[in-house]
Amino acid sequence: MKLSYDLHIHSCLSPCGDNEMTPYNLVNMAKICGCDIIALTDHNTCLNCESAMKVGEDIGLTVVPGMELCTSEEIHCICLFPGLKNALSFSDYVKSTLPPVKNREKIFGNQYIMDEKDNILGSFDLLLTTASGISIEGLDELMKDYGGLWYPAHIDRNSYSIISALGDFPLGLETPAFELTYEADEKLYREKYAETKNRYLLRSSDAHYLEKLMTEKCEIELKENSAKALIEKLSNIPKI
């Protein structure tokens, strides 16, 4: 089945995510905007995924538990998991590698952990937009341990992308996909970077505000509408 997707969305748990991006609001808005499957990818944490998944179950929208990991090289990577348990254990591990820098809400914004009914359960104490202690080297293996997969986010951006940080793709990169912003020219990246051959190019909104969810979505063919089917599909690199 062809599914309309958005696999890069932030909630109010990301300090840069708008307070209106509650799990309830963002999942409902994604549904209104025509998404069939979304991933919640807050910076360095999966702690709002459970609530978003509950909202998704209630309204019939698949929510994949995910994270936008900031590696020690300051590269943003989309990490996706087949289930909540995997995501939460990875989230715990990432937290253990974060520098001991507390969030300053007035400067960086709130980091709200919320339930599925818009109640605030608490705030994440450490600043979530810092680089974690996890290097891009070994991320393939690490993600296998957690049953998930990762791919570099917004490779066409001038900051926090694999190309802006390293100048190029590291040799031997095994990621099954690359993310481009909606504006980027796929052909240009395919031609310029041989590493993108036989890899999925995915485009998502990177929404931090509800309005940003109102963009035209891309589609992916999956055998069923589930997080597991998405992981399975992306784990099998296409023959283009």
Among 18, 179, 195, 206, binds Zn ion (CB under 5 A): 206
Residue with the CB atom nearest Zn ion in the bound state: 76
Q: In degrees, to the nearest 5, what angle opens at C-alpha 151 toward C-alphas 62 and 141?
A: 105
| Residue 175 vs 229, nearer CB to Zn ion | 175
| Residue 17 vs 82, nearer CB to Zn ion | 17
* CB distance 124 to 47 below 8 Å: yes
| Residue 76 vs 229, nearer CB to Zn ion | 76
Q: Contact between 68 and Zn ion (CB under 5 A)?
A: yes
Q: Contact between 18 and Zn ion (CB under 5 A)?
A: no
String of contacts with Zn ion for each residue 113-152, x by CB under 5 A: ----------------------------------------
Q: In degrees, to the nearest 5, what angle opens at C-alpha 64 toward C-alphas 139 and 76?
A: 40
Q: How far is the CB of 14 from Zn ion (least distance, A)?
A: 7
Q: Contact between 179 and Zn ion (CB under 5 A)?
A: no
Q: Contact between 6 and Zn ion (CB under 5 A)?
A: no
Q: Angle, to 10 degrees, between the axis of helix 23-32 and the axis of helix 49-59?
A: 40
Q: Which range in 96-104, 119-127, 163-171, 202-210 contacts Zn ion by CB under 5 A?
A: 202-210
Q: Which range in 19-27, 101-109, 124-132, 199-207 contacts Zn ion by CB under 5 A?
A: 199-207
The footprint of Zn ion on residues 74-113 (CB under 5 A) is 76
Q: How far is the CB of 58 from Zn ion (least distance, A)?
A: 25
Q: How far is the CB of 77 from Zn ion (least distance, A)?
A: 9
Q: How far is the CB of 110 from Zn ion (least distance, A)?
A: 17
Q: Applying CB under 5 A, which residues contact Zn ion?
A: 68, 76, 153, 160, 206
